[in-house]
Amino acid sequence: MRNESPTPSPEQEEDDFLCSVREGLRSRPKTIPPKYFYDAHGSHLFDLICTTPEYYPTRTETAILERHGAEMAEMIGISCTLIELGSGSAIKTPLILQHLDDDAAYIPIDICDSHLQQSTQRLQTMFPKLKMLPLCADYHQLPGHAFKRYASRRQVVFFPGSTIGNCTPEEAVQLLQRVAALVGPGGGLLIGVDAKKSPDVLNAAYNDAAGHTAAFNLNLLTRMQCELGAQLDADQFSHHAYYNETHGRIEMHLVSRCRQVIRLNGESFEFNAGESIHTENSYKYTAREFRQLARTAGWHLRSTWHDENELFNVHYLSQSASEPLQLAR
CB atoms within 10 A of CB 261: 12
pLDDT for the residue 151? 63
User: Coil, helix or strand for 89?
Assistant: coil
Please report how the helices 287-296 and 169-183 are oriented relative to each other, as an axis angle in degrees rounded to 10: 60
The β-bridge partners of 83 are 107, 157
Q: Could you list the pLDDT tens digit for every one of the 329 residues in the chain? A: 333 334 444 555 668 899 999 999 999 999 999 999 989 999 999 999 999 999 999 999 999 999 999 999 999 999 999 999 999 889 999 999 999 999 999 999 998 898 899 999 999 999 999 999 999 988 888 776 667 766 668 999 999 999 999 999 999 999 999 999 889 888 999 999 999 999 999 999 999 999 999 999 999 999 999 999 999 999 999 999 999 999 999 999 999 999 999 999 999 999 999 999 999 999 999 999 999 999 999 999 999 999 999 999 999 999 866 665 554 55
Residue ranges with strand state E in the chain: 30-31, 81-85, 105-110, 131-132, 135-136, 155-159, 188-194, 237-244, 249-256, 260-264, 267-271, 276-283, 300-306, 312-318
Q: Residue 170: enclosing H or E segment and its boundaries?
A: helix 169-183
pLDDT for the residue 2? 32
Phi, psi of 188 (to 5 degrees): -135, 170
User: Coil, helix or strand for 249?
Assistant: strand
The pairing of beta strand 312-318 with beta strand 300-306: antiparallel
Task: Measure Cα distances from 90 to 15, 43, 49, 234, 288 in Å.
Answer: 28, 12, 15, 31, 28
Nearest to 123 by CA among 80, 94, 154: 94
Q: Residue 65: enclosing H or E segment and its boundaries?
A: helix 56-76
Nearest to 312 by CA among 173, 160, 171: 160
CATH number of 1-329: 3.40.50.150
DSSP-derived letter for residue 61 is: H
In the chain, what are the domain boundaries?
1-329
